[in-house]
Structures are given as structure tokens and as C-alpha cells.
Amino acid sequence: ISDESDYFRHIEAAHNIRKSIEGWAKSGNHDAAYYAGLMAFDEAKRFDEEFRIYAGHKDERYLEAGRKFLEASDREIRKAKEFLHPAAYAHRADSCMLMGDILEYEKMGNLESKALVFYYCASREYYIAGHRDQAVRAYTAMLRNGHPQSPMIIEMHARLFTQQPPNLWRPISSPAAGTSPAAAAKPAQ
């Protein structure tokens, strides 16, 4: 049988680590902002799972506990968005992707178009950085959240799927030096 203080010591250490990451995020560190937003989003999803458990009961005390979990989830989502906004607006691909995931998770009203914008940012930045697989993953999320004829979707489709092959089947050669293309095309008599 072990002492419970061991358990609480680890919880306290994890809490201190999270608070220090949040402090770095508030000071402008975009990498810390991504991880702080990721932790807050994971916590919000956990609170939503707890809410679903309590929401199925008929007892008023369970329903009240479920409402508390829902409030905690909303608070964590707001915190995640607060951390991610500066990094996403600085065009950090991972932060844009996570911001799109959060907005897609909420699925309220007109937020889907906002999720599309963040997924577009992520897809474009992944593509520019040379991470094609992640760019395609963000592009797939764009298709889930926007109309297929959206200019952002069309642009990313063109970037991802219509590329010039590395080896052309016919080499491109310039006309002979010193002759004009019209003169080179005329047969000699």
C-alpha cells in the first residue's frame, strides 16, 4: 500500500509544468502557445466526455454536475483559442491546424468558414515548408468545412495535385542563337 502523497506530488508537478508553459505562451513564445493550446483543448474534450456521462441521468444533482463540466469545457476552449490566436496569425502551421480543429469541434453557426481559413493557413504553410502529407491532411479538413468551389480549396488543390513532373517527356530547347523563331521555321529554297 502506497501513500497518496506520491500521487499528489506528480499531479502538482504536472500542474506546475502546465503553468510554466502557459506563462511562456503569454510572453509571446509561439511554440509554448501551441502546446498550451493543445493541453487546454485536450482538457476541454475530457470535460465534454464527463458531461456526456452525467447528462444521461435524471437526477438533478447529476445534471448540475454535468453543467459544471460543460462550463469547464467552454472555459478551456476559450483559453486554448486565446493561446493559439497570436501563433496562428503569425502563420504557424501547427497552430493554424489546431485552431481549425477547435473551431470544427465547436461546430456552432458560421464558425465552419473560420475553421476553413485556419485549415487553409495550415495547408499552405505545411506545403511551403515541404511537408506534403500534413498539407494534404489540412486540405482534407478544408474539404470537410467548406464548399468545394471555395477559392482557398481550389488554390490548395492546384498546389497539391497539379505539379510539374520532375522529368519532362520532351526536353524544352530554345531556338538556335542568332535566328528568329519565324526564320528558323521557314524552309530553305
Distance from C-alpha of 114 to C-alpha of 92, rounded to nearest angstrom = 16
All three cell numbers of 14 = 504536472
For residue 188, count CB atoms less than 10 angstroms from its CB and return exposed for 0-12, middle for 13-18, buried for 19 or more: exposed
Question: Residue 114 phi/psi, 5° resolution?
Answer: -70, -40
Instruction: Give per-residue pLDDT as tens, 101-120.
Output: 999 888 665 555 788 999 99
Output the domain CATH number for residue 138.
1.25.40
Distance from C-alpha of 117 to C-alpha of 37, rounded to nearest angstrom = 18
Number of domains present in the structure of the chain = 2
Same domain, yes or no: 85 and 105: no
Nearest to 43 by CA among 123, 102, 104, 2: 102
Mean per-residue pLDDT over the chain, rounded: 85
Lowest mean pLDDT among 1-15, 22-36, 101-115, 175-189: 175-189
In this prediction, residue 10 carries a pLDDT of 85
The more confidently predicted of residues 185 and 42 is 42
Same domain, yes or no: 16 and 78: yes
pTM for the structure as a whole: 0.75
Q: Is residue 41 included in any domain, yes or no?
A: yes
Distance from C-alpha of 33 to C-alpha of 88, rounded to nearest angstrom = 10
In this prediction, residue 154 carries a pLDDT of 92
Confidence of residue 2 (pLDDT cuts 50, 70, 90): low
In this prediction, residue 94 carries a pLDDT of 94
Confidence of residue 5 (pLDDT cuts 50, 70, 90): confident
All three cell numbers of 139 = 486540405
User: What is the domain extent for residue 142?
Assistant: 91-161
Instruction: Give per-residue pLDDT as tens, 141-184.
Output: 999 888 889 999 999 999 998 866 666 666 666 665 555 555 55
Same domain, yes or no: 82 and 147: no
Residues near 85 by beta carbon (within 8 Å), at least 6 away in sequence: 99
Q: Is residue 176 included in any domain, yes or no?
A: no
Q: Is residue 117 included in any domain, yes or no?
A: yes
Instruction: Give per-residue pLDDT as tens, 36-57.
Output: 999 999 999 999 999 988 888 8
What is the DSSP code string of 146-175?
S-TT-HHHHHHHHHHH----SS-SS---PP
